[in-house]
Amino acid sequence: ASFLLLCFRSSLATPLIFCLLLQAPLTQLSTITQPNFVLLLADDLGIGDVGCYGNDTIRTPNIDRLAKEGVKLTQHIAAAPLCTPSRAAFLTGRYPLRSGMDAVNDYRVIFWNAGSGGLPPNETTFAKILQQQGYSTGLIGKWHQGVNCESRNDHCHHPLKHGFDYFYGMPFTLISDCQPTETPEMDRAFRRKLWLSTQMIGLITLTAVLGRLTGLISVPWKTLSCLAGFSLLFFICWFSSYGFVRYWNCIMMRNHGITEQPMVTDRTTSLVLRESISFIERNKHKPFLLFLSFLHSHTPLLTTEKFLGRSRHGLYGDNVEEMDWMVGQVLDAIDKEGLKDTTLVYFASDHGGWLERQEGERQLGGWNGIYKGGKAMGGWEGGIRVPGIFRWPGVLPAGTVIDEPTSLMDIYPTVVHLAGGAVPQDRVIDGRDLLPLLRGTVAHSEHEFLFHYCGVHLHAVRWHQKDTGAVWKAHYVTPIFSPPGAGACYNRGFCPCFGEGVTHHEPPLLFELSQDPSEAKPLSADTEPLFDTVIRKIGRAIEEHRRTLTPVPEQLSVSNVVWKPWLQPCCGTFPFCWCDKEDDN
């Protein structure tokens, strides 16, 4: 009997042990107490620009490899459709209007290194928490969250004040003004108005002087002198900022010091890649966080000669393929140091592609696949649905695709919890820990509602009805495309958030995204029996959400975004700001 009992126990134990061995690769989480994190964030990349998301003409083998070896999210949502607010939300896990990083006006991003707005010092980034947990934290690439508050060197918004031990990159963002051969991009329409106003004032002044000299008008010379002085002062006031954008905004920094002013764009890509790999090599023996914030694929599309002309989509496609190569180089560095199994790699874009960005026949912005709209559009999917890929061999199941609503804000609690930290309890954190969803231990995202803002204006709300799997989306405000039916605001360059350029919907436009991801067929009470129920449900969610909002200083107010010469980062004696320390090295 004892022999039979022993055989019976053995017969049970054998398949049990076999099953445990099969599951072992996905049950090692407890043995990795503090994984490394490599967060890769593209700039202006459309979801339709990546091979694993359906593009078959731009080659992205390294990003595709990440998806094959990890988890691909198909409903990954940015908290804002523009750089500054989206990145603020990414860093803090909070909707940007909670930190004052979304705009009430048309200045929806930080415009100058010498502005006083930026990510407030009282905001706690995931980098700051990881730093407290003993991580080495580095940011390479784009920041665009401000620099100074009151003086040139207070660096109150600087990455090193927000939890990063090391920073190399642009405190601002890449713009066409950084490339001397490109047409200026920054505030282009406003600059034209300033030039026109200067010419008109100058013409009036010259006409008055000629009239006085010829005796046609009797204007006192004192009045003419004041008019001439005003003309000169007006010109100096605006040209001192807009006339030197390349020197004021296109700079590279290492920690608090400026290394290039203006930046030498021909070598930027190689320096960013070198710094990224060097950071991994320096910190391989301790837990680290590397946030590689690409300058690709924002205009002016800095692309090295090696990649020019390689793609079927002109300069933009070349630029995306070069970024993919950079991703591959970083992954190779992780493999080389034996860190692959202890490193969580994440890839995403800060928002959708810029449809309106064109120069003549050249399309310089991205493609958002089947999704309507693009960059700057807070409601339409094309502006906010982005690639989202996680890879962590042995912990996350390879080749997994998840079609649940997730957010860039979710990176915050996910990273913090894995590092052994705790999210702040004194504020609202809108992100949710993604690890259970990524590992497959839960079937649904924790997000029931996601709120889609354009500036501080609520444009749309997404409701994930978990019991049925439906994803409803109600649009309360949509931009007016120009020309009509064009799918973007080509006549403006950007779609606005408010004013004459938008339409308010009452009742709201309603779509069921799981059936209509392109938002092509709005539902109505006549075509959808649940229409009124869904709208009421979303309406109650909006009321509850608004009760969680508290007034905060507006970081993107006009007074905060204007150029202030006393705040201008300068590697010389202002206004003689010029240096090239990389060349000196």
Asked, for residue 539, whether it belongs to a domain, the answer is no
Burial degree of 579 (CB within 10 A; 0-12, 13-18, 19+): middle
341, 393 Cβ separation under 8 angstroms: yes
In three-state secondary structure terms, 464 is strand
Output the six-digit token pair for 233: 């002062």
For residue 264, the 8-state DSSP code is -
pLDDT at 89 over 50: yes
Higher pLDDT, 215 or 36: 36
Higher pLDDT, 30 or 352: 352
Q: Phi-psi category of 419—alpha, beta or left, where left has phi over 0 and alpha has psi -120 to 50? A: alpha
Asked, for residue 566, whether it belongs to a domain, the answer is yes
Asked, for residue 531, whether it belongs to a domain, the answer is no
Q: Phi-psi category of 45—alpha, beta or left, where left has phi over 0 and alpha has psi -120 to 50? A: beta
Residues 301 and 420 in one domain: yes
Output the six-digit token pair for 269: 């890509």
pLDDT at 18 over 70: no
Residues 91 and 208 in one domain: no
Structure confidence at residue 27 as a pLDDT band (50, 70, 90): very low
Residues 61 and 192 in one domain: no
pLDDT at 423 over 70: yes
Nearest Cα neighbor of 96 from 120, 116, 114 is 120
318, 326 Cβ separation under 8 angstroms: no
Q: Which residues contact 437 (CB under 8 A, 6 or more apart)?
A: 402, 404, 406, 444, 445, 446
482, 491 Cβ separation under 8 angstroms: yes
pLDDT at 21 over 50: no
> What's the CA gap between 142 and 164, in Å, rounded?
13
Output the six-digit token pair for 96: 């940007």
346-370: b (≥16 Cβ within 10 Å) or e: bbbbbbbbbbbbeeeeebbbbbbbe
Domain boundary among 200, 226, 242: 242
User: So which residues are the catalytic ones?
Assistant: 83, 144
Output the six-digit token pair for 203: 């013409």
Structure confidence at residue 219 as a pLDDT band (50, 70, 90): confident
Structure confidence at residue 3 as a pLDDT band (50, 70, 90): very low
pLDDT at 542: 98
Backbone Cα Rg of the chain: 26
Give tens-digit pLDDT for 126-170.
999 999 999 999 999 999 999 999 999 999 999 999 999 999 999
Asked, for residue 290, whether it belongs to a domain, the answer is yes
Cα angle, residue 129 at apex, residues 125 and 134 outer, rounded to 5°: 140
Residues 403 and 421 in one domain: yes
Residues 277 and 401 in one domain: yes
Structure confidence at residue 189 as a pLDDT band (50, 70, 90): confident
544-559: b (≥16 Cβ within 10 Å) or e: ebeeeeeeeebbbbee
**Alpha-carbon torsion (522, 492, 143, 320), positive or negative:** positive
Run of H or E including 190: helix 188-214
Nearest Cα neighbor of 411 from 81, 94, 97 is 94
Cα angle, residue 491 at apex, residues 115 and 559 outer, rounded to 5°: 15
284, 36 Cβ separation under 8 angstroms: no
Residues 275 and 196 in one domain: no
Structure confidence at residue 31 as a pLDDT band (50, 70, 90): low
Residues 197 and 341 in one domain: no
Q: What number is the average pLDDT over the span 503-509?
A: 97
DSSP sequence for 520-579:
-S-B-TTT-TTHHHHHHHHHHHHHHHHTT------TTSHHHHS--GGG---SSBTTB--E
Q: Which residues contact 469 (CB under 8 A, 6 or more apart)?
A: 514
Torsion of CA 392, 396, 398, 402, to 10 degrees: -120
482-508: b (≥16 Cβ within 10 Å) or e: eeeeeebbeebebbbbbeebbeebeeb
Asked, for residue 417, whether it belongs to a domain, the answer is yes
Beta-bridge partners for 451: 461
Domain of 314, CATH number, reads: 3.40.720.10
pLDDT at 26: 59
State residue 102 phi and psi, 5-degree precision: -125, 155
Asked, for residue 201, whether it belongs to a domain, the answer is yes
Residues 275 and 388 in one domain: yes
Number of domains making up the chain: 2
Residues 140 and 288 in one domain: yes
Structure confidence at residue 213 as a pLDDT band (50, 70, 90): confident
Give tens-digit pLDDT for 292-324.
999 999 999 999 999 999 999 999 999 999 999
Asked, for residue 513, whether it belongs to a domain, the answer is no
Give tens-digit pLDDT for 137-148.
999 999 999 999
Output the six-digit token pair for 410: 């979710």
pLDDT at 32: 64
Q: What number is the average pLDDT over the span 94-107?
A: 95
Q: How far is CA 77 from the centre of its chain?
A: 11
> What's the CA gap between 337 and 343, in Å, rounded?
11
Residues 202 and 284 in one domain: no
Percentage of residues in the chain having pLDDT higher than 70:
94
> What's the CA gap between 354 and 364, in Å, rounded?
8
pLDDT at 24 over 50: no
Q: What number is the average pLDDT over the span 33-62?
A: 97
Domain boundary among 201, 223, 242: 242
Mean residue pLDDT of the chain comes to 93
> What's the CA gap between 503 and 489, in Å, rounded?
13
Q: How far is CA 508 from the centre of its chain?
A: 28
390, 344 Cβ separation under 8 angstroms: yes
Asked, for residue 475, whether it belongs to a domain, the answer is no
pLDDT at 274 over 50: yes
Percentage of residues in the chain having pLDDT higher than 90:
85
Pairing of strands 343-349, 36-42: parallel
Run of H or E including 64: helix 61-69
Give tens-digit pLDDT for 64-83.
999 999 999 999 999 999 99
pLDDT at 95: 98
Give tens-digit pLDDT for 425-476.
999 999 999 999 999 999 999 999 999 999 999 999 999 999 999 999 999 9
pLDDT at 7: 37
Structure confidence at residue 9 as a pLDDT band (50, 70, 90): very low
pLDDT at 517 over 50: yes
Nearest Cα neighbor of 112 from 79, 152, 140 is 152
Q: Which domain holds residue 347?
A: 36-174+250-444+558-580
State residue 513 phi and psi, 5-degree precision: -65, -30
pLDDT at 538: 98
Residues 147 and 279 in one domain: yes
- Give the position of tokens 């309890």: 425
pLDDT at 224 over 90: no
pLDDT at 440: 97
Residues 428 and 280 in one domain: yes
